[in-house]
Amino acid sequence: MHDQTRPATVRVFIALAPPDHAKEELARELRPAYATHPQMRWNRIEDWHITLAFLGELPVGTVPLLRPPLAGLAAARRSLSLALRGSGSFDDRVLWSGIDGDLDALYALAMDVRSTVEECGVVLEERPFRPHLTLARARRGDHSSTGEIARGIAGFTGRRWPAERLHLVGSNFGRSSGPIHYRDIEAWPLGDGSSSGS
């Protein structure tokens, strides 16, 4: 009976994505850790992103309602100049890289994204915005790996890059036992794209 019903929800978040050259810079820095800590659950480099708002599981029908207001929000904003910098861990389990650059504008964008989503009727969890890229997760019982790796790349500072697109992203989390895969549902350019840096 139930096998003909398609999933009624999708797990969604709104994010910025570093360009390939910025990700490659950090990946080079991480290469020794990939070799020394193969037991970590390393995120795929193509999935690295800066989450602005995590919407959780939404009814599939809600997603189209988000598109016009998010497109309008993106068009009203300029691109941001950001860089990947340093590292740390959350709860000894989650390894992250920090974000540097136009942080005031980044926080303002995250606040506006959250307000826009809530105006569409989506209830967001009250969690503080901590801009970062999640790089890996330690397995249960491993309390030392994330700290070791974070200390090894604490001095990393990447080159600046323009964040030029706002991404609405969906994931298959919870629907399979394999790794989480993300896909862009849609992405909108920030600003009108006609001014190439000022």
**Predicted pLDDT at 192:** 55
Check if 132 is active-site.
Answer: yes
Burial 72-93 (b: 16+ CB within 10 A, else e): ebbeebbbbebbbbbbbbeeeb
Nearest to 134, CA basis, from 160, 173, 165, 102: 173
- Write down the catalytic residue from 2, 132, 143, 181: 132
Burial 17-40 (b: 16+ CB within 10 A, else e): bbeeebbebbeebbeebeeebeeb
**Predicted pLDDT at 196:** 39
Nearest to 72, CA basis, from 166, 174, 5, 1: 166
**Predicted pLDDT at 179:** 57
Check if 49 is active-site.
Answer: yes
- Write down the catalytic residue from 49, 143, 167, 181: 49
Query: Which residue positions in the chain have pLDDT lower than 70?
Result: 1-7, 172-181, 192-198
- Contact present, 8 and 60 (Cβ < 8 Å): yes
Q: pLDDT tens digit string along 66-105?
A: 999 999 999 999 999 999 999 999 999 999 999 999 999 9
> Pairing relation of β-strands 165-171 and 9-16?
antiparallel
**Predicted pLDDT at 194:** 43
